[in-house]
Amino acid sequence: MMLTTQKMTTNPRPDRAQQQSLRAFLKRQSKPAAVWLKLSIALGTFNALLMIAGAYLLAQAIHNVMFEGNNLAQVTHLLWPLAGIILLRAVFLVLSERLSAFAALKIKSAMRQTLLHKLSLLGPSYIEQHGQGATLNTLHNGVEALHDYYAKYLPGVAYSALIPLAILVVIFPTDYKAGLIFLLTAPLIPFFMILVGSKAEALNQKRWKQLAVLGNYFFDRVQGLTQLKLFNATRTELKQIAKISDDFRHATLDVLKIAFLSSFALEFLATISVALVAVIIGFRLFFGTLDFATGFVVLLLAPEFYLPLRQLGSHYHARLQGISAAADMVAILNAPLPSDVNAPVTTSAPENNLTLNTINSISITDLNFIYPGSNEGIKNINLTLPNKGLIAVVGSSGSGKSTLFDCLLGFHPEVINNLSVNGQSLSTTDITYLQNNIAWIPQKATLFYDTIAANIKLAKPTATQQELKHAAKQAGVLEFINTLPDGFNTLIGEQGEGLSGGQKQRIALARAFIKQAPVIVLDEPTAHLDSQTELLIQDAINEYAKNNLVLVIAHRLNTVKHASNIIVMHDGKIAEQGDFETLAAQNGAFADLLKTAEQGVAHA
């Protein structure tokens, strides 16, 4: 079974210092929606003020009824405003929550946009180095993981400071002794939380790997299920899964025992403080040093005083998730761009095909390219390509063929100076010019989640229906498209789902043909496509090569035999070049390759 889900992250959790900088990063990223976030917090705080006012009204009404002998009519002037406040609070709560959610959405959208833009500048080799799956996860789930951080955790932090403060400000003038109890117990809560929290965190840090491994065990075995069946090991594995699940339980509970202590300390302090306040106020009421209305307000506000702090504890997970996701994002955003790529790469194509006939030759001079942080790459490449003909590039895997093509296609802007067209050296701003004159068919073409027409017209958005049909016909895919009920408007699924490898390849071919570029670059599929497709691609490129330049990474004997020139790559260098007969006759790198390719056939 394919390994598609990697639930377990193997990244260690960020330590305290890293968390600090990641939180600062997340804070900076909130800019696009800072206004909404602030407004949400303002409304939430205003809501708390209304709650305080409501407590006063309620306490006064109850006081009046209990001790002043008021009837219902005499307290309506207190109860109606209270009803109004309740209504307002409900409205404000809804607005505040909606606004913080809205702000989080804005931030997420902006973040995804920024990341994607940066990734497009970093280019395909960065993505390949860091794993396409991991990058995709950061872009998709990672960005989503930020939601609760912005919508819940950040406002929560603000409330945990603002609301207790508001309550203190109101309580102190009314009854400073109760205020003192609040003031003295409040700092104890964060103190104990940090104390216990850091112990739990340390334990977590120490055991995250063990926990992750145990938690992942089951899914790992499900992924390898077929293999377990083939080994006939499912029965013993069942016992093992039960045992590991049990280990997982024990290990997690060990951590939870400590982690729950932090909320235990918090609850304990909050509850005991409320009880203490209640008892002290009770005695003051008894001795007549306080009137009931005030005492009751304090009792009503006591739990509210600790509530924001308790809620903050419950957003712990949102915080950790946000910070972990941020680590991956910072890595992408801080990655250095290939040297000055600030050139306007995305400018629109020059008008008409002015440059179509002007490519007489493409030259590569003294080209060296080594991948950062490795010694793999290509060295001392000097090459001149004519304006027509079929040029085959061969070499064993790792010999530098793909890197050479990437350089030629302009994907490594730092070496574009080594390219020249018609004897004129290119600069970084000319990438677009170069790419405009090239059509490219990779080994596994990417078909986008769109219609067949849109996929072909990607290369030429202005193409007419006539041109579309012509290109499809050239690529031998018109007949197939016509058999589809929706024809060119058929929607292609993810990664060309529902199409065979041959059909995908032909659509990519049509895409290349519609561009009518003077140069086609092709990485021949190594997969064993149906023979019809193979022949068709063969014929089509031979035909195209009569008037244009076709550059192909060749994997097939026939392609190599038809090439007007073969370039043999070995260890990042050009080892030989020439036509098939010449090279085959020499006892060089090509002869070696040929022998490997045909082993067993050569001596037949």
Partner 1 sequence: MRNFIRLLKLCAPHYKAMLLGTFLATITVLANVGLLAISGWFLASMAAAGIAGVQMNYFTPAGTIRFLAIVRTASRYGERLVTHNATFLLLSEIRTNVFATLSKLNNVDLAMSRSADLVNRLQNDVDALDKFYLNVLLPMLVALLSVPIIMLFMSAYNGNVALICFTGIILIGVVIPALLSVKLTKNSHKETQLSAQLRSELSDTLTGLRELSIYQARSQQLNKCDELSEQYNQQLFIRHKALANSDGLSLLVVQLAMLASIVTIVPLVYASSMVNVELAMLSLFVLASFESVLLLPNAFIELPSVLKAAERLFTLEDKAASSQIESTHIDVDENFSAQNHTLLLNNISYQYGEQTALTNVNFELKPQQKVAIVGRSGSGKTTLVNLLTGLWPLQQGSITLNNQNSVVDLHSLNNDIRANVINILAQQHHIFDGTLSENLRYAAPNATKEQMIEALALAQLSPWFNELKEGLKTRLGTGGRNVSQGQSRRIAIAQALLKNPAILVLDEPTEGLDNQSKQGVMQAIMHVMNNASVLTITHDPALLAQMDNVVWLEDGKVVAQGSHKELSSTYPDYVALTTRF
Of 43, 310, 30, the C-alpha closest to 160 is 310
| Listed residue (444, 421, 448) closest to 432, CA to CA | 421
| Shortest separation between residue 501's beta carbon and partner 1, angstroms | 6
Query: Distances in Å between the alpha carbon of 420 and those of 49, 361, 519, 552?
Result: 71, 8, 14, 20
Q: Which of 21/501 has CB closer to partner 1?
A: 501
Compute the least distance from the CB of residue 254 to partner 1, in Å.
11
Burial class (CB in 10 A: 0-12, 13-18, 19+), 319: buried
Residue placing its CB nearer to partner 1 in the complex, 25 or 433: 433
The bridge status of strand 419-421 relative to strand 519-523 is unpaired
Smallest separation, CB 63 to partner 1 (Å): 9
Closer residue to partner 1 in complex, CB, 21/260: 260
Overall residue count recorded for the chain in this entry: 604
Q: Quote the CA–CA distance of 126 and 129 in Å, as a whole number.
A: 5
Q: Which is nearer to partner 1, 270 or 478 (CB)?
A: 270
Q: CB under 8 Å to 101, separation ≥6 — which residues?
A: 147, 151
Q: Which is nearer to partner 1, 21 or 76 (CB)?
A: 76
Q: How far is the CB of 211 from partner 1 (least distance, A)?
A: 11
Backbone φ and ψ for 375, nearest 5 degrees, come out as -115, 20
**83/169 with CB nearer partner 1:** 83
Rounded Cα distance, 300 and 281, in Å: 12
For the CB of residue 416, give the shortest distance to partner 1 in the complex, in Å.
Answer: 13
Number of other residues whose CB lies within 10 A of the CB of residue 161: 13
Going by DSSP bridges, is the β-strand pair 549-553/519-523 parallel, antiparallel, or unpaired? parallel
Tokens matching residue 139: 């872009």
The single-letter DSSP state of residue 428 is: G
Q: Whose Cβ is closer to partner 1: residue 6's or residue 324's?
A: 6
Assigned token pair, 439: 């059509």
Nearest approach in angstroms of CB 530 to partner 1 is: 6
Question: Alpha carbon of 391 to those of 125, 201, 510, 563: distances in Å?
Answer: 25, 61, 20, 6
Cβ at position 56, least distance to partner 1 in Å: 14
**SS3 assignment, position 369:** strand
In this structure, are residues 574 and 568 in contact, taking their beta carbons and an 8 Å threshold? yes
Q: Which is nearer to partner 1, 19 or 502 (CB)?
A: 502
User: Minimum distance from CB of 101 to partner 1 (Å)?
Assistant: 4
The whole-angstrom separation of Cα 87 and Cα 96 is 14
Q: Cβ distance 544 to 520 under 8 Å? A: yes
CB of 343 to partner 1, least distance (A): 13
Looking at beta carbons only, is 202 or 601 nearer to partner 1? 601
* Burial (Cβ within 10 Å: 0-12, 13-18, ≥19) of residue 250: exposed
Minimum gap (Å) between residue 283 Cβ and partner 1: 7
Query: What are the backbone dihedrals phi and psi of residue 548, each rounded to the nearest 5 degrees, phi first?
Result: -135, 175
Burial of 498 (0-12, 13-18, 19+ CB in 10 A): exposed
Nearer to partner 1, 223 or 427 (CB): 223
HSE-up of residue 470 (Cα within 13 Å, Cβ side):
9
Angle at 591 between CA 586 and CA 593, to 5 degrees: 155
Minimal distance in Å, beta carbon 333 to partner 1? 16
Q: Which is nearer to partner 1, 21 or 316 (CB)?
A: 316
Least Å distance, CB 388 to partner 1, is 20
Least distance in Å: CB of 21 to partner 1? 26
Of 105 and 426, nearer to partner 1 (C-beta) is 105
What amino acid occupies position 313? Answer: G
The smaller minimum CB distance to partner 1, of residues 21 and 129, is found at 129
Closest C-alpha among 163, 46, 152 to residue 99 = 152
